[in-house]
Amino acid sequence: MEIILKYFSDFTPEQLSQFEALQGLYQEWNEKINVISRKDIDALYEKHVLHSLSIAAIADFQPGTQILDLGTGGGFPGIPLAIFFPEVQFHLVDSIGKKIKVVEGVAEALQLKNVTAAHSRVEDIKNRKFDIVVSRAVAPLGDLWRWSKHVMKKSTVPGKQFEKGLICLKGGDLAQEISESGLKPRLVKVYDIFPEESFQEKFVVLAKS
């Protein structure tokens, strides 16, 4: 938890309590359903929570924004972002049902009223649009864009800070992946936001049409 407070300080008591509860909740759930690797559970706050919050460090989501977390796994980046932005609505989806069971359990324990979750593929979401889609390294950038563009609202505020589109957390050499996607995303080095050794070669990728 200390590593979160190293970079963020303006939390309400409720937010602090929710962040502090994450370690115990994920340890408990991980014993039933393995959603985080054994070696990473001890570094939960750095490798999962803080990594997720790199999005919050560069994107100031306004109250009422609708965000889809595509392939959320155990709830990253969606759960930490939902704690950080209590007035933003998050819908977390994953094609693996047991992972959504963990997400629902964590969200309920934290009393996150701005989180919904569904055992679903993004392609199956109908009649619902989101301002932003977030994702954490679940597929190549081109696939993420293709899967999510039908659920994205059209941007109506040209030239403003990142308003509509896809934000994903990725690592490694992305040159070929970006080239094949046909997109011209903005890349932000996570290490430039949080200079921790584990964030070398990790990026926040922001793509819009």
Q: What is the dihedral of CA 198, 4, 24, 139, to 10 degrees?
A: -50
Query: CB–CB of 21/1 below 8 Å?
Result: no
103 annotated as a binding-site residue: no
The Cα–Cα gap between 99 and 85 comes to 22
122 annotated as a binding-site residue: yes
Q: How many CB atoms lie within 10 A of CB 37?
A: 10
For residue 181 the two structure tokens come to 């996607």
Nearest by Cα to 132 from 113, 151, 115, 118: 151
108 annotated as a binding-site residue: no
Query: CB–CB of 81/67 below 8 Å?
Result: yes
Distance of CA 112 to the CA centre of its chain: 15
| Main-chain dihedrals φ then ψ at residue 203, nearest 5 degrees | -135, 150
123 annotated as a binding-site residue: yes
Query: Residue holding tokens 């209590």?
Result: 86
157 annotated as a binding-site residue: no
Sheet containing strand 115-119, strands side by side: 115-119, 89-94, 66-70, 132-136, 165-171, 202-207, 186-189
* Binding-site residue set: 71, 76, 122-123, 136
* Binding-site residue set for S-adenosyl-L-methionine: 71, 76, 122-123, 136
